Amino acid sequence: MAMAELSTPQTTSPFLNSSSRLRLSSKLHLSNHFRHLLLPPLHTTTPNSKISCSVYQNSQAPVAVQENGLVKTKKECYGVFCLTYDLKAEEETRSWKKLINIAVSGAAGMISNHLLFKLASGEVFGPDQPIALKLLGSERSIQALEGVAMELEDSLFPLLREVDIGTDPNEVFQDVEWAILIGAKPRGPGMERADLLDINGQIFAEQGKALNKAASPNVKVLVVGNPCNTNALICLKNAPNIPAKNFHALTRLDENRAKCQLALKAGVFYDKVSNMTIWGNHSTTQVPDFLNARINGLPVKEVITDHKWLEEGFTESVQKRGGLLIQKWGRSSAASTAVSIVDAIKSLVTPTPEGDWFSSGVYTDGNPYGIEEGLVFSMPCRSKGDGDYELVKDVEIDDYLRKRIAKSEAELLAEKRCVAHLTGEGIAYCDLGPVDTMLPGEV
Ligand code: LMR
């Protein structure tokens, strides 16, 4: 890393339009590649407003500001996002909400590449909600993360106020209100399922600890990296200061897939399918619930009378959709996963339509369905739009559902035993059954 030093005058750049005006002050610190666009030549600077930028080898990421002898710690900010700005000054023309900090891990990956631009556009949190993105990657991905940050710069999103990139969760998670944990190791050749649980478990244990220490105490955490239910469990067990209720494992993709399959079979557009629950694990033991789902407000079984298809064809098509996609694409789903992350967050920040619900993998303590406590299990939820949720009480569980839910529950209990050393629950004992029910992307 190289250190560059420059001084700036107090000025406002003529290159910025009024809707996204960034106020430049003596606190300004700029990357070299952007500096020449915004600043007058260095000889016009005042001597007492000193700024030190340390820049990465490619001269793009300033990492520290020195002012009056104090080194400030906004050290992972990227390029244009290191500019200071004044949201208040924009209130003459816009009414902004208070800025929120959103962490995304695996930020240089394919899913993030779709997700980050949706977050920055306002599609998720609304057109009046400025955001700061905190991008977590591995040492190996740092250059790619800079590429991501550059594309975010070039997109000129008015709502995107800060982008930080980093490899240390303790720094990246500082004060975050949302954490979307996508980064996880894929299962390599010859790797046992228990090994994957252990390797990824370590990552999520570390990230849980970091969230516990650094994040906002009411941070909402959405775990996407597989095996996401057990990763979410490990994460929450390592974050005792954060309510367990705030942790989610992404099963919204499965819900969306199930809605699509029912719509196809019934010959209706998919917005006519509601009340779709995915029960259990995000694996091939998951249970897409056609008993309580509705099409055009009617029970699915009244609209689709081929019940054998519901029990077999439909269920299997949802359980194995991820695997089929991998066969076609040669990699896991990315765009539809990003869309389902957007859907999952929007379901928590907007009120659930009357009578409907959504699925999320959440902590089972206090659940009304008789599912073992201490698991992260996909269940039907409703939200008032405040970021929180409650479990739906009036769902019917017949013998068919109960039997399948029990299978997914048994799988999650076995996964939990495998990671006991990571959840503080004693010595791990791995007795995962001979049938491998993990999603094919993990093989
Ligand atoms: C999916 O459901 O598409 C993915 O979770 C599959 C995978 O294993 O990555």
DSSP secondary structure letters along 172-212: HTTT-SEEEE---PPPPTT--HHHHHHHHHHHHHHHHHHHH
Q: Which residues, in sequence order, are CB contacts of 381 under 8 Å at separation 6+?
A: 347, 352, 357, 358, 359, 360, 362, 389, 390, 391, 392
Name the nearest CA neighbour of 199 among 166, 173, 225, 168: 225
Q: How far is the CA of 137 from the centre of ligand 1 (A)?
A: 20
**Residue 151, Cα to own-chain centre: how many angstroms?**
19
**Residue 401, Cα to own-chain centre: how many angstroms?**
29
pLDDT at 331: 83
Ligand 1 atom with the smallest distance to the CA of 337 is 3
Q: Report the residue among 251, 439, 442, 443 best suited for mutation to probe ligand 1: largest number of ligand atoms under 8 A from its CB.
A: 439
pLDDT at 201: 95
pLDDT at 440: 55
Measured CA to CA, the distance from residue 85 to residue 300 in angstroms comes to: 52
pLDDT at 330: 84
Name the nearest CA neighbour of 173 among 225, 213, 116: 213
Q: Which residues, in sequence order, are CB contacts of 345 under 8 Å at separation 6+?
A: 124, 125, 178, 180, 222
pLDDT along the chain (443 residues), means of 10: 29 30 26 30 32 32 43 63 74 80 97 98 96 96 95 96 96 98 83 82 97 98 96 98 98 98 97 98 96 98 98 96 86 94 98 98 98 98 98 96 98 95 92 66 47
Ligand 1 atom with the smallest distance to the CA of 439 is 8
Buried/exposed code over 306-322 (b: 16+ C-beta within 10 A; e: otherwise): eeeebeeebbebbbebb
Ligand 1 and 284: CB distance under 6 A: no
Name the nearest CA neighbour of 207 among 234, 226, 177, 230: 234
The pTM for the full model equals 0.82
The residue whose CA is least distant from atom 1 of ligand 1 is 322
pLDDT at 43: 33
Distances (CA, A) of 383 to 57, 353, 356, 395: 46, 9, 10, 16
Ligand 1 and 60: CB distance under 6 A: no
C-alpha torsion 25→26→31→34, nearest 10? 40
The residue whose CA is least distant from atom 9 of ligand 1 is 441
Measured CA to CA, the distance from residue 275 to residue 320 in angstroms comes to: 21
Measured CA to CA, the distance from residue 363 to residue 379 in angstroms comes to: 9
Ligand 1 and 332: CB distance under 6 A: yes
Measured CA to CA, the distance from residue 393 to residue 146 in angstroms comes to: 46
C-beta of residue 402 within 8 angstroms of C-beta of residue 279: no
Q: Which residues, in sequence order, are CB contacts of 139 under 8 Å at separation 6+?
A: 167
Q: How far is the CA of 262 from the centre of ligand 1 (A)?
A: 20
Ligand 1 and 174: CB distance under 6 A: no
Ligand 1 and 415: CB distance under 6 A: no
Ligand 1 and 227: CB distance under 6 A: no
Ligand 1 and 283: CB distance under 6 A: no
pLDDT at 48: 33
Peptide bond into 186 cis (omega under 30): no
pLDDT at 438: 63
**CB-neighbour burial class of residue 62 (10 A; exposed 0-12, middle 13-18, buried 19+):** buried
Ligand 1 atom with the smallest distance to the CA of 325 is 3
Measured CA to CA, the distance from residue 208 to residue 103 in angstroms comes to: 13
C-beta of residue 176 within 8 angstroms of C-beta of residue 103: yes
Classified as helix, coil or strand, 234 is helix
Which residue in the list 33, 36, 43, 282 is annotated as catalytic?
282
pLDDT at 44: 32
Q: How far is the CA of 136 from the centre of ligand 1 (A)?
A: 21
pLDDT at 338: 98
The residue whose CA is least distant from atom 2 of ligand 1 is 322
Active site residue 307: no
Q: How many CA atoms lie within 13 A of 288 on its CB side?
A: 31
H/E element holding 135?
Answer: strand 131-136
